[in-house]
Chains A and B, each alone.
Chain A
Amino acid sequence: MDFNWLTTIIFLPALGALLIAFVPKLSARGVRWLAAVFTFIPLALSLYLFSIFDRSAEMTGVMQFEESVSWIPSIGANYHLGVDGLSLPLMILMAFLGFLVVLISWKIDLRPREYFAWLLLLETSILGVFCSLDLLLFFLFWEIEVIPMYFLISIWGTGRKEYSAIKYVIYTLFGSAFMLAGILSLYFTTGSLNMVEIAQGGLGMVQTAMPATAIFFLLLVGFAVKLPVFPLHSWLPDAHTDAPTAVSVVLAGALLKMGGYGMIRVCVSIFPGVAQEHALGLIILAVISVLYGAAVTLRQTDLKRLIAYSSISHMGYVLLGVFALGQVSMTGAALQMFSHGVITGLLFAMAGLVMHNAGERNLNKLGGLARQMPIIVVVFSVAGVASLGLPTTSGFAAEFMIFVGSFSSGVVPGIQVATILGVLGIVITAGYILWMLQRVFYGPPLKQFDKARDASILDRVYMFAFIAVIMGVGIYPAVLTDIIKMGIAPVVGLLGG
């Protein structure tokens, strides 16, 4: 395996961004096609990697498609990439969303060159986060993502976009400031920046008495801001609401997953003991996120804000699954990340379409759109029921695994109570999703929306892709869980469970 698959996948979008930004006299049409090509190839390549990923038992916990080149000898940093069962689905998720958001943004005509250049750079940085196995490289990609997001929200957003953009940046930098301190402490105590090596060496590599708990929490803060975990979530509704549709899709679909991924890959893998010790507190936060997020969602009257708040609640399940620390629950959490990425991606895309075609986003003013938008209503409803976890959708498979896994996980005492409370969140979810669909699409048709159009051909293409993935994973979740388990097994092994 000599070809550098991962490098190619990660940097193709960046190359596309450079071409878009610097090739002179490019038409808006040319820009779009370039963006489509430079996001489609990574998607195709990542699907190819998925097909040749070695699923045999002896490859459990082993990184595949590894690349490692010495990068900064003075501090022992390597350009070290690789994917395992945990990161591969997330990489595919980003490549998938990366291509679809280009289609979703096809109609953008405000400064399209800059827009697509930033969008592609964003894709590169997120792909890089999921594939990096060196802490410095990981952190570098983690930080790069902030800049495209800032521009995308503040230039192409709506509403209080500049406020939301800077709020997003400050929150993220605040989290990553602690993460940097954590990474430096980890580097100092282990003398290594290699994530796999540190995790395998366990805390046996720690040479000094710097408390592992402190490092664990420094790192956790960075990931918790991103996931987000109550009470660090307040950037999320603003950023999601004011971002342009495509950016909301990436934000909810892939960016939040960086937090969950980091928790499993760094926090739990490297500090299993500390994770176990503090799991109860984090699970309580998870339950608060689930219930608080869901309750606040119920009260929203803005379509995008509603979906944004629902993410807080759904990411609470991820936190619950991760810190239940069981094989099934963590597999469920990883699947939930993928599933939520696709479902919420579709929800945001649909919300964007409704807003675009009806020119209205206030739930109290919308209504009766089912007549004008027969296709959108069906697709939006499918996304909605997937979000509330109806069987045959990926949402069901993921949440079911999390609940079963958490309930039966013997690692944390009292988790059954937390799980039951978490399940209550599903009931509220059903409430807000169905109520939202009702307020948007049903009721008497309103005169002012008579001219509202339905989905265009292009819209139907990405709708179909989203639904195929949601139903595909929902009906046959093993397609993903088989490889996720390979990534989770070594982590669970560390916990001795």
Chain B
Amino acid sequence: MLNFELLIPELTLAATALVVILLDLVVKSKWWLAALSIAGIVVSAGFAIAMWGGDAQSIFNNMLAVDKFAIFFKLLFLVIAALVILASTDYVSKLKRFQGEYYALVLISALGMMLMAATTELISIYIALELTSISLYILVGFLKDPKSTEASLKYLLLGAVASAVLLFGMALIFGFTGQTQLGDIAATIQSMSLSGVLANPGLIVGIVLLIAGFGFKIAAVPFHMWVPDVYEGAPTPITAYLSVGSKAAGFAIILRVFFSAFGLPDWLSLDWGLVFAILAAVGMTVGNIIALTQSNIKRMLGYSSIAQAGYLMVGLATVGLATASDVAGQSGLLFFLASYTLTNLGAFTAIIAISGRVDSDMIKDYAGMGRRAPMLALALTLCLISLIGMPPAAGFMAKFYIFSGAVQQGLLWLVIVAVINSVISAYYYLRVVKVMWLGSPASATKVPSSVALRVALALSCLGVLIMGIVPGFVMKLAEMAAKLFVS
């Protein structure tokens, strides 16, 4: 049984990408490309939503899973892709060539992310990961100026090393279990004795290498070195894309692999749970402290995303320490990802709108935006407040939810580290707010923004507010998606 109909959302997206490239050859007005991409995403999302009610199934000989967890992430990636495309139209229209390829690559990498969320087998995990990464390497270098090219090259080289590490880890795990299916790996590990595993530490080394490989994707310290340069050099919409899409995909795959394959026995999951707890504490502290000194807003958000990955790993640690039937960690993580996604996309959209007009990414050039572009400044303020984790924005609920799961697993120390980190982060996020509302504007001219940008910004801010004030619905979805692992 191949069950191709379960793959319709992905197929739709792939077809859209191809049509966009072809259409690029014939149409003069490039707006059609963006419109078509969005339409393809909406159709794909429609199919994905229609599948939500169905039972969890496996296709292609257990290579891909179609379950609520995967669908939750597919929808998240589709939302991300749609908002990134909306935010890109302005930016891309300045490019002389390859506009079609730009949109197509965004769609293809979204396709890769969707597959990442669904894979349940080591080799297909690797393929999905590379599909995402290679499209992103190209997109990062799309501007072809020195900074962008340097960013792309750095990303490619470090990404290749990370992929090699990952592949090596997979090889070790395959070597010691003889399986590539996550479920089969879990069964094999449970049949091993503790002393047997300790006598042949190769399996443990494999798991550690997997953490390192995936850690690169989610920008966990100490695998974060690429982040600031790549974020600064890449086209801003792609920076936004990297900061949420690639990160969310990384977390999706980590959750899937570690919970499905290494969730039991308890001594194993406690171990990686603690590893993630320590990575979380280090990540958020390093990210926040370095962010304090940044003067470029894209670099600042780069370090901020490292810190946010730290908060997210609190959820991973919770998953590791919790019993298999307790989904507080997973659902907290999913909710946090959704909240972080909308927030960061909103922030980057506002930055695209502002920086595109003042032609600078320096925080000091944002002076007086409160008067030159009140709505943009208000939206950016809301998103920054959400990143701090203050109400009425989504970040507040996300932190409350993810930390409440952690406290239940006895991670109070980690939660205290995290909340103190939020205080540190308030300082640099509010610095941007201060410059925008208190600084005197360099000129009195208003900062106009395109309709597409405004739509993208309004949608993200609306989402941020809704998830901050009435988060019940999204939390319910996150819980349903998280329950996959239990059954």
Contacts and interface: CB of A to CB of B under 8 A. Distances in A.
Interface of A: 71-75, 136, 139-141, 143-144, 146-147, 150-151, 154-155, 162, 166, 169-170, 173-174, 177-178, 180-181, 184-185, 187-188, 210
A98 B118 CA distance: 54
Q: Which one of A166, A169, A170, A181 has the highest number of Cβ atoms from chain B below 10 Å of its Cβ?
A: A181
Interface stretch (B4-12, B212-220, B430-438): B430-438
B400 A143 contact: no
The 7 closest A-B pairs by CB, nearest first: A177-B419, A74-B475, A184-B407, A140-B391, A173-B423, A72-B472, A188-B407
| Interface size range of chain B in the complex | 35 or more
Given A72-B472, A178-B416, 9 more contacts: A75-B401, A143-B391, A147-B390, A169-B426, A174-B420, A174-B423, A178-B419, A184-B400, A185-B407
Given A74-B475, A136-B400, A170-B423, A155 B437 contact: yes
B415 A73 contact: no
Contact of B390 (A74, A75, A143, A187): A143
Given A140-B392, A174-B423, A180 B475 contact: no
A99 B103 CA distance: 54
Contacts of B396: 140, 143
B188 interface: no
22 contacts: A71-B470, A72-B470, A72-B475, A74-B401, A136-B400, A140-B391, A140-B396, A141-B391, A144-B392, A147-B390, A150-B433, A166-B427, A169-B430, A174-B423, A177-B419, A180-B403, A181-B403, A181-B407, A181-B415, A181-B416, A184-B403, A188-B404
A139 B420 CA distance: 16
A154 B438 CA distance: 8
B385 interface: yes
Question: Do most interface residues of chain B lie in helix, strand or loop, or is the interface mixed?
Answer: helix
A187 B438 contact: no
B124 to A, nearest CB: 32
Given A72-B475, A174-B423, A187 B404 contact: yes
Interface in B374-415: 385, 388, 390-392, 396-397, 399-401, 403-404, 407-408, 412, 415
Contacts of A154: 434, 437-438
A166 B430 contact: yes
A177 B479 contact: no
Contacts of B397: 72
A136 B401 CA distance: 11
A75 B438 contact: no
A72 B437 contact: no
A411 B388 CA distance: 42
B144 interface: no
B446 interface: no
B408 A74 contact: no
Nearest to A146: B390
B441 interface: no
Contacts of B427: 166, 170
A193 B390 CA distance: 19
B357 interface: no
Given A154-B434, A162-B438, A73 B408 contact: no
B269 interface: no
Contacts of B423: 170, 173-174, 177
Contacts of A141: 391
Contacts of A162: 434, 438
Nearest to A144: B391
Nearest to A179: B419
Question: Do most interface residues of chain A lie in helix, strand or loop, or is the interface mixed?
Answer: helix
A173 B391 contact: no
B422 interface: yes
A177 B397 CA distance: 14
Nearest to B431: A166
Contacts of A73: 472, 476
Contacts of B388: 173
Contacts of A185: 407, 412
A150 B479 CA distance: 36
Contacts of A180: 399-400, 403, 419
Contacts of B470: 71-72
A425 B439 CA distance: 43
A169 B433 CA distance: 13
A497 B420 CA distance: 38
Contacts of A75: 400-401, 404, 475
A170 B430 CA distance: 10
Interface string B473-487: 001100100000000
Q: Which one of A74, A139, A146, A147 has the highest number of Cβ atoms from chain B below 10 Å of its Cβ?
A: A74
B59 to A, nearest CB: 30
A128 B136 CA distance: 46
A184 B475 contact: no
Contacts of B392: 140, 144
Contacts of B422: 173, 177
B356 interface: no
B471 interface: yes
B438 A155 contact: yes
B134 to A, nearest CB: 38
B468 to A, nearest CB: 9
A150 to B, nearest CB: 7
Contacts of A139: 400
A72 B471 CA distance: 7
Contacts of A146: 390
Nearest to A218: B416
A74 B476 contact: yes
Contacts of B390: 143-144, 146-147, 173
Contacts of A71: 470, 472
A146 B423 CA distance: 12
A184 B438 contact: no
A7 to B, nearest CB: 14
Contacts of B426: 169-170, 173
A187 B406 CA distance: 12
Contacts of A147: 385, 390
A170 B425 CA distance: 10
A181 B396 CA distance: 13
A50 B475 CA distance: 38
B403 A177 contact: no
Interface string B113-145: 000000000000000000000000000000000
A141 B396 CA distance: 12
Contacts of A150: 430, 433
B289 to A, nearest CB: 15
B236 to A, nearest CB: 26
B290 to A, nearest CB: 18
A211 to B, nearest CB: 11
A74 B472 contact: yes
A23 B130 CA distance: 51
A174 B397 CA distance: 18
Nearest to B409: A188
Nearest to A72: B472
Contacts of A144: 390-392
A304 to B, nearest CB: 21
